[in-house]
Structure 1
């Protein structure tokens, strides 16, 4: 695999871009991006070790877990992880769960310790049906029980004095609705002609499992722009994405939000990723892991959880998804992701990120950029290529003036700068399939 080749690099002074310049770009908080990074894990169950889980999330820079009461993970273990790493939990009903009281009770315990991120509905009711109020629902049966369960969960959270301000994530795989109960909406609007009445509230965030490798996309083959297209909120997404679950449901074609509305719809991904397989090497997986988090954040996903922290040791069929093998040896994906989050590391907050003037002339469709700013005022311009089938893109990054104190990082190599430059006005880069970071300080 070809690594990024850096010919010239440049650094930029924070907030010194002219606001009326057409190439002025608004930065996002680096801390906000880091806070979006989550992972699925059984923490201390299913053969996983609490201390190893803690070690892994600290190394990777993981800010939140997707978890729940399925598997009987002790709440005390989630609190322990939070107190020793700052990693919060999204706590959910998960597969087949219906016990709202138990969910509320444990969520309150997490909230009391500052360890709660959000509350989630059912996991994939198309695969895991429920019995709620003595009614069977989900799978190929009516989804009315699923709708009532999610409605009641939402009301229980919003009526709770401790939990009312925490976000509720919807169920996932609502594109599999067998009847039009309106789960393709966060709140059912007037005129939707759904079985459940208009005004029914389900969630604050849409929830999707947009795995970047999916059988529906050339049987899971590797493509250029793999993670970028998988993160797309529009119908151009070739996998099980936002449009097929909240735009026009993939099973029955029930109408939800318009493509324009989907762009700004609050949304999260609670599962995504890819295995190492005949078409995806360990090194390619490492690139895809970094690029998927960047692509998701750039396209408006507030939170993204990779499946999986560590490979399952108690089931078949879910091997090589993880950052780690079953014996906790790190894959290439863990090492390079550690490098990425270490380079971007920031725990501070800033009221309003600044702007930076830059331009990528004739930017190829396989090159993407994300401007971040740290709480110390420095900019981190992340540029990544998505050429997974071979080839490379040569680009220039042009600025409005010359700057000093510039560093360029390549997370495929390590955490130290690969080049330090000053008094340059343009950067020439050759990009293949992973990110590079241009750090710009005063």
Structure 2
């Protein structure tokens, strides 16, 4: 796939109207998004505060508009009961109609968990109403706003819901693994896009392209029950592997849950306060830095070509090896390599050491420079070869990015350690010299 196309598969969840959380500081929220390098955000048309309805609606519009001006494209949850605390469907679509940058509207969120005993009867009605109203709206139709299906909280409920593919342009999945690796399903009740998981989803989405609208890892180590926590280092490794794995499976877009820890939770008692790529003071966690590094390595200064082909032969490794080939402009390519091996034990809550395996990347022709990177660790090459048609790469638990250039161009420059977000006066400047 085009390298720039991969960058378009990465998004992040935000809650810009959670005004009693870190999201209250919208300038720093935008600064964090721009620093991260993502182009897509997911949020919801929120409930007004009853005593401040007019102010609330105006503030919500202002914040969504600021996201668009910062270069973000919006996927907004708009589905729900016909007339509830979020306003009628007409009200919700009216808010969206007044916004720029909205690329998709989404059906009800995990309604099998939130909609009561009759959720399976009500959910198809709400989804079909959203689809019909969006397609009838001349403004939204003119902007080619797509309709995303509803998300479900439990895997078994796709069979209960049945086929709703006629009421969506894109299918919807929440893929939490509870501290497990993203490539396989091992935790009872968890859902990941492997080992038949896609077939389960297809019961509702048919052959529609898929979005993963939530996936992530939390570090609430004092919470008992619910999802097990994940150490910050392993979470960084798993997050990069998640994005690569989903792209390799053809997922249209993956939204990480979520941008910020919502509030301080020093005791680590509540997972909902600890899913952030950044903590509540806007300091990036290792997963944020790893995602940023991945996007910096895969960005393209020109137009990534569609239909470019590179026949790569991989030798060595075992059946845990995964790969993805990306095309860059100027005849360059990227080969991403990773292994479906656990680096974290969520029950013992300890790191797992993974012995590297040497993988030989054999190429159909010689490239002027081959550089290997480990995005979890940084954007400085860990191995460089010149005028070669093969490269030996040790692959352990963390992904390796092999960049192949037909010319002796300069490698990606390291821009130093990430800075914490310390100013509330406005978004941080973009990194100099970059595509973001």
Report the TM-score range of the alignment, normalised by the length of the smaller protein.
Answer: 0.7 to 0.9
Q: C-alpha distance in 1, partners of 2:234/2:158? A: 40
Q: Indicate the SS of the match to 2:4.
A: helix
Give the aligned partner of residue 171 of structure 1. Answer: 150
Shift of 1:349: 3.8
Q: Does 1:239 align with 2:190?
A: yes
Is 1:59 the counterpart of 2:31? The answer is no
SS at match of 1:309: coil
Task: Say if 1:367 and 1:386, in contact at 8 Å, map to a contact too.
Answer: yes
Whether the 8 Å CA contact 1:269–1:304 is kept in 2: the answer is: yes
Query: Relative CO higher for 1 or 2, CA cutoff 8 Å, sep ≥ 6?
Result: 1
Q: Aligned pair 1:128/2:106, yes or no?
A: no
Cα 1:247/1:116, change in 2 over 3 Å = same
Check whether the contact 1:229–1:236 (CA below 8 A) recurs between aligned residues: no
Q: Give the distance between the partners of 1:76 and 1:236, measured in 2 at CA.
A: 41
**Does structure 1 conserve the Cα–Cα contact (< 8 Å) formed by 2:218 and 2:274?**
yes
Contact 1:228 1:296 in 2 (8 A): no
Q: Secondary structure, in 3 states, of the residue corresponding to 2:145?
A: coil
Paired position in structure 1 for 2:371 = 407
Q: Which runs of 4+ in 1 moved over 3 A?
A: 94-98, 174-180, 235-238, 241-249, 314-317, 347-351
Matched, 1:204 2:169: yes
Aligned residue for 2:103? Answer: 117
Any idea what SS the aligned residue of 1:126 has? helix
Alpha-carbon deviation of 1:270? 0.8
CA distance in 2, matches of 1:65, 1:417: 30
> Does residue 107 in structure 1 map to residue 96 in structure 2?
yes
TM-aligned CA deviation for residue 396 of structure 1: 1.1
Once the two structures are superposed, the pairs formed by residues 211-230 of structure 1 within 5 Å of their partners are: 211-213=176-178, 222=180, 226-229=181-184
Q: Which residue is 1:22 aligned to?
A: none
Q: Distance in 2 between matches of 1:29 and 1:57?
A: 22
Alpha-carbon distance between aligned partners in 1 of 2:363 and 2:189, rounded to the nearest angstrom? 35
Change (3 A) 1:142 1:290: closer
Q: Distance in 2 between matches of 1:62 and 1:179?
A: 30
The 2-side partners of 1:367 and 1:237 are apart by 24
Equivalent residues of 2:105, 2:148 under 8 A apart: yes
Residue of structure 2 aligned with 1:375, choices 314, 329, 334: 329
> Quick check: 1:256 aligned with 2:245?
no
Greater Cα offset, 170-179 or 275-284: 170-179
Q: Does the CA contact (< 8 Å) of 2:76 and 2:105 recur in 1?
A: yes
Equivalent runs, 1:4-83 vs 2, <5 Å = 28-46=1-19, 47=21, 48=23, 49-71=25-47, 74-83=60-69
Cα distance change on mapping 1:390 and 1:177 into 2, 3 Å:
closer
Which structure has greater helix proportion? Answer: 2
Q: Which residue of 2 aligns with 1:146?
A: 123
Distance 1:212 1:163 in 2: 35
1:390 corresponds to which of 353, 358, 363? 353
In 2, Cα distance between equivalents of 1:179 and 1:57: 33
Asked whether 1:272 is paired with 2:215, we answer yes
Compared CA separation, residues 68 and 163, structure 1 to 2 (3 A): same
SS of the residue aligned with 1:420? Answer: strand
Give the 3 Å change call, closer, same or farther, for CA 38–183 of structure 1 in structure 2.
same
Query: Over residues 188-209 of structure 1, what are the superposed CA-to-partner deviations in whole Å (9 max), with x where a residue is unaligned?
Result: xxxxxxxxxxxxx321111111
Q: 1:397: Cα distance to partner?
A: 1.1
Structure 1 match to 2:245: 295
The answer on whether the counterparts of 1:394 and 1:428 sit within 8 Å (CA) in structure 2 is yes
Deviation at 1:94, TM superposition (A): 6.2
CA displacement 1:86-129 (0-9 Å, x = unmatched) = 1111011367657211221122222xx3x112110100112222
Unaligned stretches of 5+ residues in structure 1? 1-27, 130-138, 188-200, 214-219, 250-254
Q: Deviations over 1:408-427 (max 9, x none)?
A: 22223322323332122221
Deviation at 1:305, TM superposition (A): 0.6
Q: Deviations over 1:45-92 (max 9, x none)?
A: 3321111111111111111111121255612212212212x1111011
Instruction: Provide the rounded CA distance (Å) in 2 between the counterparts of 1:208 and 1:285.
Output: 20
Q: In the comparison of the two structures, how many residue pairs are matched?
A: 365
Question: What's the offset of the Cα at 1:378?
Answer: 1.8
**CA–CA distance in structure 2, aligned partners of residues 350 and 415 of structure 1:** 20
Secondary structure class of the residue paired with 2:114 = coil
